[in-house]
Chain A
Amino acid sequence: AQKVTQAQTEISVVEKEDVTLDCVYETRDTTYYLFWYKQPPSGELVFLIRRNSFDEQNEISGRYSWNFQKSTSSFNFTITASQVVDSAVYFCALNHGSGYALNFGKGTSLLVTP
């Protein structure tokens, strides 16, 4: 069975602080795919990144970076120099390597205050 755990329910930071959102997953598959989605206060769900199980390279996109570590089954998301516009709920999700059965974590609500 697949499972995604986002242990941090809510995080509050002051603007310009760095913040890391944790994601731990469980799967028996050797091929799987990990995703992060953002849900801003307006409610829509926006795809941020995808990572394949066989590609452990970390990725940086502007102020966003992702650290994928198979050894600890984690796919953590770091926002550097946070901004108020980063306030949102962030979801980590896992799909196994065949078919489509995406499991979402319960989300982490990030509040960035000025």
Chain B
Amino acid sequence: GAVVSQHPSRVICKSGTSVKIECRSLDFQATTMFWYRQFPKKSLMLMATSNEGSKATYEQGVEKDKFLINHASLTLSTLTVTSAHPEDSSFYICSASRANYGYTFGSGTRLTVV
């Protein structure tokens, strides 16, 4: 079945540094990938839609300069949290959609900014 690999699974970084999270579709081509953020005991919140070869579409309230998304190939999308602050600490998850198969999710990345 469709597999989406996301890494790292956990990362701790210092305030002010940048962190890159990768999301790869392993056995299918994902023209569209989605990035979500999840706060404790809350729903998944869509941050942006990443389209291969074009700029990402950000949801209202999500800073595009803060959360840089790159989708350079049909199998890889990256989310870079720039100049991270403690309030960026959260759980980030990617997913890819595939016609007739619905959504496949990555395993998530727990980001802690200290």
Partners in one complex: no
- B: residues with CB less than 8 A from A are none
- A: residues with CB less than 8 A from B are none
